Every structure is written in structure tokens, then in C-alpha cells.
């Protein structure tokens, strides 16, 4: 397994791990932002976004991914004040700030947010109906119930959770993809009435969640077979316990991470690289929903195709269909010239849309394992024209009978 320092240099173009120092609280705030990057990448993490007025800060961090927004406020203890007294005061202050962030975003008072990768990004509150508040307290203490200290948390009109900085380090380590972390936040929200969550006790909190997730999945994932329910529960257990991180195959998932990192590296000399940064962001979101478990499986197949293509010089590819999301994807490896490989990819993606009847279709092509690598992506929601459907009906299925993982 990689250290945090190694990971920051390897995985999806992360920023450098922050160094100790600066004004009180600066390091803890930057470290919290870095942890969020670990799950959501720089593409979807907004550091210290501006508020309504000049010089005003909206939040310590905001994460916008899919239809979900995380509103983050960080407090760090300095000095020898009694832990419970400090936590009560800090939580009350952070609670007011998180509520103000929520109100400013929901009301449309904030029109733009600045992102490290994309610069000024338009914000539409209608695109983010699911907002969650996250308060991070950086201090040493015995486990405690934040809601018992500050009952006002339960009176908010949107879910707000309190974590220690150590909790967040653990969570973003185990739920290290956007898909995994969003799933965790949603499960935790659903389990509020069943579990008493304690700050600085996230290991035990996760153990308690594992005992209850089957009932939540069974309720929200209908229709679902017993076999699929078992697999879904087991996938959460492997992530929540950290078991997935210890697998030798974990490294294969970095193949997907690498694509996310490079989705916004556009070569302006290529004729198909037109349009706004939103295209790159859409690719990042599509891949971001892939959980770590699924990234490992897909990454392993991609590497195998790259190795085979390097040996025989032939194109190799496979399709993947996620029925629950209604999305199809194609992964192609070939040493064809860029224009030819893009055309080949577009054909395969169009056929995948036809074959699976998918709402959204994604494709990526790269070269066999060798010196260097590059990616070309395509992502579409368009319906196929009748002529294309007729043509696909007349030819042999290029994917055979496979596809689903």
C-alpha cells in the first residue's frame, strides 16, 4: 500500500500533501481538503469558495458531485481547554456556518464557484438537490455524541454530520472514490434513527453500519434479487472494513484513477477536442461513480487487454453495462492512428448503446502497454438514428455475449 505522500504523487493528479505550519487551523483545514480530494479529486473539490460579499468565505470546502453537494466546515483545537467544552462551542459555531452555506447555495445567492482545475464554474442550485453538511473537528478526545452536546444539529432542515479529523482520514481512505463516499453518506443518513454515531469512533460506527445495510439496500434497491443484495452488502463490508485495500489487486483500480486525472488534459491540436471543460468534467463524473471494487475489476481487464495488444498488435476491447444506472461503457486498446482509433471507438460505443439500450454511453481508447500513454474519450446521451439501428441489427455483435461485471 502507498503512503499518503506517495499517493498524492500517483493518484488522479492530487495536490501535494500539506505541510505543518501557518496560522492556527490552517494545516487542519488544508489537510481536510486534501482528504476530500482523495475521494472526489480536485475536479469536484472547491477549496475556500468565496461568499456573497467580497472577502467573505462560503465554506472551508464544498464538494459538488452528481446531484450531491457536501458543505464542509473545519475547526481545530489549540490550547488546553477541556475537550467536551471546546467541541460544544466549535460545533455550534460550525453549525451556524454550514447552515449559512446551505442557505446561500439554495437561494441562488452564489452564482459561481472557483475550482482548481476548471476555474470559475456556474452553480445551479437545482442541479444539487441533495446537500449534506459535514463538520470536521480536529482535536483529541474520547468518543462522544455530538448530537447530545449540540441538539440543534437534529433541528437542521438538511442532514449534518460531525466527524473528527481522524474519522475523515479513515473514511476517505476506505471510501476512496466518489461513488463509495456518496454511498456511505447516504447510508449514514438513512441509519440516523437506528444507530448512535460517535465522533472519534468511526471504526466502531462502521461496524455498526455493516449490521444494518442489508435492510437499507433491500428497501431502496427494489427490484433486487437475493444474490445481488448479498453482493452489494458484501461490497460495502469489504470497503468499510478496509479489506479491499489489502488486496494485491487493489493496484488495478489505479487504471481508472489515471483516466480521471487525464480527462481534462486536452490536446488543442486534435480536431475532436472542441467544446467546454464541462465535457471533461462529465467524463470525470461518469468514471467517478465507479466504486473501488468495480474499478479493480475493470482495471484488471483493461491491463490484460493492454498486455495482449502489445503482444499481438491487434485491437482488444470489452463492454461493461451497469443496469442499475442504465449506463454502458467501452474500453478499447489499439495502436491505430489517433483519428482511426477515435472512429473505431465511436462505432463500438454506438453499438453498445444499441445493444444495452443504455441512457448514457461512455468510451475510452488507449494504446498497448509500452512507452507513454494517451486517452481519447467519448460520452453521449443521444438516441441512435433509425439508420444506425437498422445497420446494427444486420451485423454480428462485436461484443459477443459478454459485458456485465
**If you search the block for the grid coordinates 475523515, which residue do you land on?**
168
- Give the per-residue pLDDT at 5: 52
pLDDT in tens, 319-333: 999 888 899 999 999
Residue 42 Cα distances to 178, 244, 389, angstroms: 12, 23, 39
Backbone angles phi, psi at 15, to 5 degrees: -75, 165
The mean pLDDT of 184-213, rounded to a whole number, is 96
**Residue 22 pLDDT greater than 90, yes or no:** no
Core vs surface per residue 24-54: b (16+ CB within 10 A) or e: eeebbbbbbbbbbbbbbbbbbbbbebebeee
**Residue 297 pLDDT greater than 50, yes or no:** yes
pLDDT in tens, 200-233: 999 999 999 999 999 999 988 888 889 989 999 9
CB 41 within 8 A of CB 13: yes
**Residue 355 pLDDT greater than 60, yes or no:** yes
Reported as a pLDDT band with limits 50, 70 and 90, residue 118 is: confident
* Domain ranges, ordered by start, for the chain: 4-177, 248-394
Cell of 178: 466518489
E runs forming strands in 21-124: 45-47, 61-65, 68-76, 112-115, 119-122
What is the DSSP-derived secondary structure letter of residue 251? G
The mean pLDDT of 159-172, rounded to a whole number, is 98
Reported as a pLDDT band with limits 50, 70 and 90, residue 6 is: low
- Give the per-residue pLDDT at 13: 65
Cell of 140: 483529541
**Residue 44 pLDDT greater than 90, yes or no:** yes
Cell of 398: 462485436
- Cβ-based burial of 206 (10 A; exposed 0-12, middle 13-18, buried ≥19): buried
- Give the per-residue pLDDT at 397: 95
Nearest CA to 236 out of 323, 302, 228, 256 is that of 228
Cell of 232: 452489494
Nearest CA to 324 out of 361, 358, 281 is that of 358
- Give the per-residue pLDDT at 3: 55
- Give the per-residue pLDDT at 172: 97
The mean pLDDT of 74-90, rounded to a whole number, is 94
- Give the per-residue pLDDT at 1: 42
What is the DSSP-derived secondary structure letter of residue 211? T
Q: How many CA atoms lie within 13 A of 134 on its CB side?
A: 29
DSSP reduced 3-state for 175 = coil
Distance (Å, whole) CA 274 – CA 268: 8
- Give the per-residue pLDDT at 211: 96
Per the omega criterion (within 30 degrees of 0), is the bond before 223 cis?
yes
User: Out of 176-180, 339-343, 373-377, which region has the weakest mean confidence (pLDDT)?
Assistant: 373-377
Q: Choose between 176 and 271: higher pLDDT.
A: 176
Distance (Å, whole) CA 216 – CA 191: 8
Q: What is the CATH number of domain 4-177?
A: 3.40.91
Distance (Å, whole) CA 160 – CA 72: 10
Considering the entire predicted model, what is its pTM? 0.91
**If you search the block for the grid coordinates 498486455, which residue do you land on?**
307
- Give the per-residue pLDDT at 405: 45
Amino acid at each position: 500500500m502507498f503512503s499518503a505522500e506517495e499517493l498524492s504523487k500517483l493518484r488522479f493528479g492530487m495536490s501535494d500533501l500539506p505541510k505543518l505550519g501557518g496560522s492556527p487551523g490552517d494545516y487542519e483545514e488544508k489537510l481536510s481538503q486534501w482528504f476530500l480530494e482523495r475521494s472526489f479529486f480536485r475536479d469536484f473539490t472547491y477549496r475556500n469558495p468565496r461568499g456573497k460579499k467580497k472577502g467573505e468565505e462560503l465554506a472551508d470546502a464544498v464538494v459538488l458531485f452528481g446531484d450531491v453537494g457536501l458543505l464542509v466546515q473545519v475547526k481545530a483545537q489549540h490550547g488546553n481547554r477541556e475537550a467536551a467544552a471546546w467541541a460544544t462551542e466549535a460545533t455550534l459555531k460550525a453549525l451556524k456556518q454550514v447552515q449559512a452555506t446551505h442557505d446561500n447555495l439554495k437561494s441562488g445567492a452564489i452564482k459561481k464557484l472557483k475550482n482548481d482545475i476548471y476555474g470559475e464554474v456556474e452553480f445551479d442550485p437545482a442541479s444539487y438537490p441533495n446537500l449534506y453538511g459535514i463538520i470536521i473537528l480536529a482535536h483529541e478526545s474520547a468518543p462522544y455524541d455530538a448530537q447530545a452536546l449540540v441538539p440543534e444539529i437534529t433541528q437542521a432542515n438538511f442532514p449534518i454530520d460531525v466527524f473528527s479529523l481522524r474519522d475523515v482520514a479513515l473514511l476517505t481512505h476506505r471510501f476512496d472514490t466518489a461513488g463509495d463516499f456518496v454511498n456511505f453518506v447516504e447510508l449514514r443518513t438513512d441509519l440516523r434513527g437506528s444507530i448512535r454515531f460517535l465522533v472519534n469512533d468511526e471504526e466502531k460506527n462502521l461496524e455498526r453500519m455493516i449490521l444494518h445495510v442489508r435492510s437499507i439496500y433491500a428497501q431502496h434497491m427494489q427490484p433486487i434479487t437475493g444474490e445481488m443484495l448479498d453482493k452489494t452488502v458484501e461490497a460495502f463490508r469489504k470497503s468499510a472494513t478496509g479489506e479491499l485495500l489489502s488486496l494485491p489487486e487493489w493496484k488495478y483500480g489505479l487504471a481508472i484513477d489515471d483516466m480521471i486525472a487525464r480527462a481534462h488534459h486536452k490536446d488543442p491540436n486534435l480536431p475532436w477536442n472542441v467544446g467546454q471543460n464541462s465535457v471533461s468534467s462529465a467524463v470525470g463524473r461518469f468514471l467517478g461513480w465507479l466504486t473501488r471494487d468495480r474499478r479493480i475489476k475493470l482495471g484488471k481487464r483493461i491491463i490484460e487487454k493492454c498486455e495482449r495488444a502489445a503482444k499481438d498488435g491487434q485491437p482488444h476491447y470489452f463492454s461493461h453495462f451497469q443496469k442499475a444506472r442504465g449506463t454502458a461503457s467501452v474500453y478499447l486498446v489499439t495502436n491505430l492512428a489517433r483519428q482511426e482509433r477515435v472512429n473505431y471507438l465511436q462505432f463500438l460505443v454506438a453499438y453498445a448503446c444499441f445493444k444495452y439500450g443504455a441512457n448514457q454511453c461512455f468510451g475510452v481508447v488507449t494504446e498497448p502497454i509500452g512507452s507513454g500513454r494517451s486517452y481519447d474519450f467519448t460520452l453521449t446521451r443521444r438516441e441512435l438514428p433509425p439508420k444506425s439501428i437498422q445497420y446494427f441489427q444486420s451485423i454480428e455483435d462485436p461484443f459477443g455475449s459478454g459485458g456485465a461485471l
